[in-house]
Amino acid sequence: MKKKIKKSSSENKLSKQGLKNIFDAFTKLKILIIGDVMIDTYLFGTVSRISPEAPVPVVSIRKKESRLGGAANVALNVQAMGATPILCSVIGADSEGDVFLDLLREQNLSQKGILKSRKRITTKKTRIIGNNHQMIRIDDEVDMDISKEETSQLLLRISTLIKHDQIDAIIFEDYDKGLITPKLIQQIIKISRKKGIPTIVDPKKKNFMHYKGVDMFKPNLKELKEGLKIEFNHYKLKELNKITNEFRGDQKIGTLLITLSELGIYINTDEKQVIIPAHIRRIADVSGAGDTVVSIAALCLALNLSPIVMATLANLAGGLVCEYVGVVPINKKQLLQEALNTGIAK
């Protein structure tokens, strides 16, 4: 196992050099990412008139671009921090699947965890951007669960990767597209416990209650309320603590990390239940912010960093990517500079 960074007796004793050392340590990590992948296609253009055919804007396309999306965007964020991501997923045996593999090659990302299926299509989300604002999104996808045979094939591939690679953390990136099933979850958690590999989940509604025993669970507020099927006043910290303490205890989750949009990020552990406020940003697009948050949190989890440092860095990273149009990975240098400027390091 790689050497982890020891937790400080006081979260406030982290020096600026210590923070830089953390960012250097990220480069030694290898993160396994299991989840739904997709292609994010962007049509960028300008809007200057309304269509005579219907009361809708006419977008004159100036540029087309395809990017890696879904769990693949998590891989890009992990890679952007200098770590090595290994992406595990199932794509369609179609032209979009070929495009997806080409995009992986362009980004120097490994394909060894990717399986092709003739029973599925590769998920593609097309966003039309007019005057730097998203006008509409078109989704081409299926969300049925992968077959038992495909689940077994994927489990075998993941088990082999864990056996032969030194994995420091495992991310479940669930987009409810059918890749992640209860059987897959149970088997991977079992393997990770045996190997001592920490697990972190970015959940969606369908499998929300199936991640019992993971080390970290990272929903956003909407996903938490939908998953628990309850409404509560999240502005009241006492009420938020009560709900999350019960859920974390019932599910035997080590750390609960909840993104609260403009309010910031909430962390719940045995020792800490606190909200870290968001920083003031010029928000251009919130797409992909959750991917960035879970990526940074997973790297921090792999290094055994304190909950406050982990939540602070993840919170900063999620806010930074919202300043850009479209789904983009975090900039490591920018995040380090932002972290140095926040006062987290003395």
Q: With beta carbons less than 8 A apart as the criterion, state whether 136 and 163 touch.
A: no
| Distance, CA of 109 to CA of 26 (rounded, Å) | 17
132: left (phi over 0), alpha (psi -120 to 50) or beta: left
Instruction: Return all residues near 25 (Cβ < 8 A) that are at least 6 apart.
Output: 5, 303
Give alpha helix (H) positions in the chain: 16-26, 71-80, 95-106, 148-164, 182-195, 221-228, 237-251, 289-302, 307-321, 332-342
| Distance, CA of 175 to CA of 38 (rounded, Å) | 10
- For residue 132, what pLDDT is reported? 86
Candidate list 36, 174, 285, 291, residue with the active-site label: 291
Q: With beta carbons less than 8 A apart as the criterion, state whether 170 and 186 touch.
A: no
Q: How many residues does the chain have?
A: 346
Q: Where are the domains of the chain?
A: 11-38+141-342
Q: With beta carbons less than 8 A apart as the criterion, state whether 123 and 36 touch.
A: yes
- For residue 1, what pLDDT is reported? 44
| Distance, CA of 37 to CA of 102 (rounded, Å) | 14
- For residue 15, what pLDDT is reported? 87
Q: Which residues of the chain have pLDDT under 50?
A: 1-3, 5-12
Helical (H) or strand (E) element with 257:
strand 255-259
- For residue 8, what pLDDT is reported? 37
CATH label, 11-38+141-342, candidates 1.20.1050.10, 1.10.287.3510, 3.30.565.10, 3.40.1190.20: 3.40.1190.20
User: pTM for the whole thing?
Assistant: 0.90
Q: With beta carbons less than 8 A apart as the criterion, state whether 274 and 266 touch.
A: yes
**Which tens digit of pLDDT belongs to each residue from 216-256?**
999 999 999 999 999 988 888 899 999 999 999 999 999 99
Q: Fill in the amino acid letter for 56.
A: V
- For residue 329, what pLDDT is reported? 81
Q: With beta carbons less than 8 A apart as the criterion, state whether 14 and 309 touch.
A: yes
- For residue 156, what pLDDT is reported? 96
- For residue 161, what pLDDT is reported? 96
- Short-list 303, 199, 203, CA closest to 255: 199
**Which tens digit of pLDDT belongs to each residue from 9-29?**
344 468 889 999 999 999 999
Q: Is 176 a catalytic residue?
A: no
